Structure 1
């Protein structure tokens, strides 16, 4: 009887001891562990024409379907003897995937634009800030989204974009 009691006591102590052991080990991550990086790079050269565009973006998932990101932009365009433009700025991007293959987006962009328009024997300089708010929708397959966006703040006279509708391709890693 003593052996049975002793065996049951040892079993009970072992069970209580292992029940107190912490089986959940939190995953050690930092803020940047799930940030996705992407953006755009454009180079166009032609006869007396140059266009250089760089626009890196970082996107942080907040939930499984919602993400927020920041980006920077630089664009240089020159048509020798006619037009020269430099623009630079920042943007805030939010994406929402209501279903796996559909991405809705909103992007607020603030650019500083420096334009020079050349006329015979002179030029006109036009420096200004431009704000754009793009609302978009696209088809997503893994880390690539192809879609169209609309600038709700578009003005014909802003000399930045030639129309309110723009196609886009987003790739994030």
Structure 2
């Protein structure tokens, strides 16, 4: 019994057609030598803070990293750790993370959106009558700032602000952002 050659070619024709259409498309993704690679597009930054007052202490460490998608847009992630205490009153620990998007339509202007999710633990001295609390708090910040090289000064607004749960005293928050 002889199998006709047509028997094999007919089912393979669509596959071969797709392969030949894919190859020219794939060839268009060539990056010229010297264009930045993935690692060259990552920038690191964040913030660090210390606060002291009469019987009060606070410390914050918030590293972040962004990926520069193109000259106008960057996206990234951040971590947040904060500790605060006031003698004979309370202790607070805050741990969380954030997703960051930065848009720079012109060199001097940076627009930002940042979603932050924080786990807040507030422990009060028992004799004061306050109840200890542990909860998750989301924040969605929309901001604008003046960009000057690696430093951006601006203000952001928490559209999900809840006065009773927020760790921030106000929905409007000034910021200084630094990425290297």
TM range (shorter): 0.7 to 0.9
Q: Give the number of aligned pairs.
A: 150
The alpha carbon displacement at 1:122 in A equals 5.9
Q: Does 1:46 align with 2:53?
A: yes
The alpha carbon displacement at 1:26 in A equals 2.6
What is the match of residue 6 of structure 1? none
What is the match of residue 144 of structure 2? 137
What is the match of residue 80 of structure 2? 73
Q: Does 1:82 align with 2:89?
A: yes
Q: Does 1:165 align with 2:159?
A: no
Alpha-carbon RMSD across the aligned residues, in angstroms, is 1.8
Instruction: Supply the distance in 2 between the matched residues of 1:116 and 1:129 (Cα, whole angstroms).
Output: 15
Which of 160, 165, 168 in structure 2 is aligned with 1:153? 160
The alpha carbon displacement at 1:82 in A equals 1.3
Relative distance call for 1:38 and 1:157 in structure 2 (3 A) is same
Instruction: Supply the distance in 1 between the matched residues of 2:139 and 2:71 (Cα, whole angstroms).
Output: 27
Q: Which runs of 5+ in 1 are unaligned?
A: 1-23
Instruction: Supply the distance in 2 between the matched residues of 1:132 and 1:86 (Cα, whole angstroms).
Output: 17
What is the match of residue 100 of structure 2? 93
Equivalent residues in 2 for 1:25-40, closer than 5 Å: 26-27=33-34, 30-40=37-47
Task: Give the stretch that moved more between structures: 77-86 or 104-113.
Answer: 77-86
Q: If each structure's strand is expressed as a fraction of its own residues, which one has the higher value?
A: 1
Instruction: Supply the distance in 1 between the matched residues of 2:121 and 2:128 (Cα, whole angstroms).
Output: 20
What is the match of residue 58 of structure 1? 65
Instruction: Supply the distance in 2 between the matched residues of 1:156 and 1:72 (Cα, whole angstroms).
Output: 23
CA contact (8 A) 2:41 2:69 kept: no
The alpha carbon displacement at 1:51 in A equals 0.3
Q: Which runs of 5+ in 2 are unaligned?
A: 1-30
Larger radius of gyration: 1
The alpha carbon displacement at 1:123 in A equals 5.3
**What TM-score comes out, normalization by structure 2 length?**
0.78
